[in-house]
Amino acid sequence: MIFDIIKKRRSVFPTQYNNKPVSKEAIEKVLEAANYAPTHKKTEPWRFKVLQGESQEKLGLFLSLKYMETEPKPKQFKVEKLIQNPQKAGAVIAICMQRDPQLSVPEWEEVAATAMAVQNMWLCCTEMGIGCYWSSPGLIKHMDDFFELKMGEVCLGFFYMGHYDEDIPEVEKGPWKDKVTWM
């Protein structure tokens, strides 16, 4: 039932992943789920770049070097984390958004549509028992130095995926009623 999957959706981080690879079929299913996201004027702005194996290592190295280059006082633990996290994942998917060249809808709607695509990916991973999370480090503003991004395309973050062994704890949420005003 979809409500149960929504309630089970969690951030599962690379430190929690085991070494079991994420299959190409699972990644393709997740990307297909993303493609069913709603989009105003059918612009379908989501774009994804799948990294596995050596490309994950290159991403980690790029992020760590860019961090050391741009951070006045880089912290060694962060350098190591930037190198290791992509390597620990079964796959990393760069989440990109391609701006509609006609600017037919506001940019925030394109970002929202891409976020809905990512939510579909997250729910699909939850259903398949694959851990994942959306990382949006400040370094994403430099991703045009790593990827060949098209005109109007921006990177919004990374979708880390990996299998895990431990139980993921229930999440504490405030009551939904505290966030609603009935008119």
Per-residue pLDDT of the chain (183 residues; tens, 9 = 90+): 899 999 999 999 999 999 899 999 999 999 999 999 999 999 999 999 999 999 999 999 999 999 999 999 999 999 999 999 999 999 999 999 999 999 999 999 999 999 999 999 999 999 999 999 999 999 999 999 999 999 999 999 999 999 999 888 888 899 999 999 999
Binding residue numbers for FMN = 9-11, 40, 134-136
At residue 2, the pLDDT reads 92
Binding residue numbers = 9-11, 40, 134-136
Rounded to whole angstroms, how far apart are CA atoms 42 and 63? 33
State pTM to two decimals. 0.95
Q: Where are the domains of the chain?
A: 14-48+90-163
Rounded to whole angstroms, how far apart are CA atoms 29 and 121? 9
Using DSSP's 3-state secondary structure scheme, residue 136 falls into: coil
At residue 170, the pLDDT reads 84
14-48+90-163: CATH, from 3.20.20.70, 3.40.109.10, 3.50.50.60, 3.30.160.110? 3.40.109.10
Other beta carbons within 10 angstroms of residue 51's beta carbon come to 20
